[in-house]
Amino acid sequence: MSDAIVCFNAGSTSLKFSAYAVGSPGDLTLISHGQIDGMQTAPQFIVKDAAGKPLDEHAWGKGQAIDHRTALHFVIDWLEHHSAGMKVIGAGHRVVLGGTRFESPVLIDTEVLDYLESLVVMEPSHQAYEVLGARALAQAFPGLPQVAVFDSSFHRTMPQVAQIYALPKDVLDAGARHWGYHGISYDYISRQVPKYAPGARRVIAAHLGGGTSMCAMLDGKSIETTMGFAGVSGLPMATRSGDVPPDLLFYLLRTKQFDDVSLETMLYERSGLLGLSGISGDMRELQASTDPRAAAAIAYFVYAMTKVAGAYTAVLGGIDALVFTAGIGERSAIVRAGLCHALSWLGVRLDESGNAGNGPRISSDDSAVSVWVIPTNEELMIAQHTLALVRP
């Protein structure tokens, strides 16, 4: 019987998972991955093998509803009965915020979950469901070790001056802090960069997906990142606004165009690429559109990254490598070309052929800055951290 680690990412109505076989000495091999969608309306389970080939599916039926405990139980049971005698020895959960207590992955117990749940008010869009998923799994399988791996952990190496805001001490003490997110992805990228660009100390990485951010790394450690207190700040995203002036938000509240709930909904769900274009938050649809609003939204997206890249080059004291990752970063030649051309003043020279082929290297030989497309693997990073705590 082979041991396995399973990674979970719980959402409000969905559950994503990946299962890894544990080899010797501690190597991890992807066995399968999948998800359960539509948990409150028409639950459907789909699982694929490591190559993306469908393995199985199951539907509970339209109008049915299942909770997270049922979904998690179904996934674990399916894995142990359909994966050649596999025994799940640990579960890893992506959790966005570890707060001040947890700056690295941690074994989960009731006290840990209580603390993480107390942070939901800071980051309401993901944290609540991730904690709910871990609680539900503990109820379904009380003896199964679980590990929380935090998106905020990687950025705890930022200097203190980068982790604070210009606010009174009592407000800072109440939790106002530059937390930073996408840290699991940046953790993985920081470990991959030396394989592609040995000797590159000053690196700017751009995680560009439905959520987007950039990170300045020095010697593999985060020293600055765009996402701030929660998941709406920084760069414009698929449906999230990115940075907007606080005084504009005061104006919208004072004029009663929004209350706090509807304002948060607007910033998280109706803004970003969707808000700018009025068409879609999906970069693929925008790139395929002939509507000038789509082109304008893409131009704004690249412009925002250009400003950050310039600032982060100053923070780093120069730049040796630029890395694109996640869905847009790995697949959009248009976006990558836009940023690279905007950074020509830094000596960035784009290899058009390499860019069209999605890399891995997309800069020319005479480029002063090497530019790379490196696929991220957050699930593997979670599995590695989980195994390290479950089986030290």
Residues with a known catalytic role:
151
Of 117, 233, 240, the closest CA to residue 176 belongs to 233
